[in-house]
Structure 1
Amino acid sequence: MASSETLINALTTLLVTLDPPGLAPVFLALTAGMTRDQRSQVALRGSIIAFGILAVFALFGLAILNLLGISLGAFRIAGGLLLFWISFEMIFEKRQERKEKTSEIAITKDHLHNLAVFPLALPLIAGPGAISATVLLAGTMKTTIEMVVLILILAFAMALVYTALIVSERMDRFLGNTGRAILTRLLGVLLAALSVQFVVDGIKSAFAF
Structure 2
Amino acid sequence: MSFSGLVDMALLATTFTTLFVIMDPAGTIPVFLALTGTYSKEDQRRAAVQATITSFGVIVLFAVLGKYILQFLQISMESLQLSGGVLLFLVAMELLMGHDSAEPDTGDRNVNVALVPLGTPLLAGPGAIVAVMVSVNQGGNTVPGWGAVVVAVVLMHVVMWATMRFSVELSRFLGKGGVMILTKISGLLLAAIATQMIMDAVFAFIRSSRLAGMI
Q: Do they superpose with TM above 0.5?
A: yes
SS of corresponding position for 2:106: coil
CA distance in structure 1 between the aligned counterparts of 2:109 and 2:189, rounded to whole angstroms: 29
CA distance in structure 2 between the aligned counterparts of 1:202 and 1:138, rounded to whole angstroms: 23
Preserved contact between residue 45 and residue 113 of structure 1 (Cα < 8 Å): yes
Correspondence list, 1:74-85, <5 A: 74-83=76-85
Report how many aligned residue pairs link the two structures: 202
The change in CA–CA distance for 1:95 and 1:167 in structure 2 (over 3 A counts) is: same
CA distance in structure 2 between the aligned counterparts of 1:111 and 1:81, rounded to whole angstroms: 22
Q: Which residue identity lines up with residue 140 of structure 1 in the other structure?
A: Q
Moved more, 119-128 or 49-58: 119-128
| Per-residue deviation, residues 21-42 of structure 1 (Å, max 9, x unmatched) | 1111111111122111111111
Partner in structure 2 of residue 135 of structure 1: 133
Moved more, 150-159 or 127-136: 127-136
CA distance in structure 1 between the aligned counterparts of 2:193 and 2:81, rounded to whole angstroms: 15
Matched, 1:6 2:11: yes
Give me the identity figure in percent: 25
Moved more, 59-68 or 34-43: 59-68
Structure 2 residues without counterparts, runs of 5 or longer: none
CA distance in structure 1 between the aligned counterparts of 2:105 and 2:91, rounded to whole angstroms: 24
Moved more, 183-192 or 21-30: 183-192
| Per-residue deviation, residues 101-141 of structure 1 (Å, max 9, x unmatched) | 8x444333x33333322232122221222222222222222
Partner in structure 1 of residue 123 of structure 2: 125
Matched, 1:49 2:54: yes
Structure 1 residues without counterparts, runs of 5 or longer: none
Q: What's the TM-score once normalised by structure 1's chain length?
A: 0.79
Q: What's the TM-score once normalised by structure 2's chain length?
A: 0.77
RMSD: 2.9
SS of corresponding position for 1:106: coil
Partner in structure 2 of residue 193 of structure 1: 196
The structure that has the greater radius of gyration is 2
